[in-house]
Structure 1
């Protein structure tokens, strides 16, 4: 699930959480809530087809 938060210094950011509640990743701070929501939509759209590069 995605959760949107208000940043202390202003703006908004989101966390992507697993089913067990563990935070998987977080976003940058966006200036508006709408921009944060657009970031979530971009991740939803792009992530399923994103390649994985093993650089280990």
Structure 2
């Protein structure tokens, strides 16, 4: 689930797993639409994003 939050600096989102754990979060955006746009981008590329193992 994506959650959108508002802070004094602007809007940011975080992605939570089914267990409620935070998986990742965004930077802070001045416009809410920018936060929504990045959520849409993550939704588009995540299913096909490759894994690069740098270990």
| TM-score, length-scaled by structure 2 | 0.94
Please show how residues 17-32 of structure 1 align to structure 2 within 5 Å: 17-32=16-31
Kindly report the root-mean-square deviation, in angstroms, between the aligned alpha carbons of the 2 structures: 0.7
Q: TM-score, normalised by structure 1?
A: 0.93
- 1:41-52 counterparts in 2 under 5 A? 41-52=40-51
Question: Which stretches of structure 1, 4 residues or longer, exceed 6 Å deviation after superposition?
Answer: none
Instruction: State the alpha-carbon separation in 1 of the partners of residues 50 and 39 from structure 2.
Output: 18
Aligned residues: 55
Please report how far the alpha carbon of residue 46 of structure 1 lies from its aligned counterpart in structure 2 after TM superposition. Answer: 0.8
Structure 1: stretches of 5+ with no match in the other structure: none
2:39 pairs with 1:40: yes
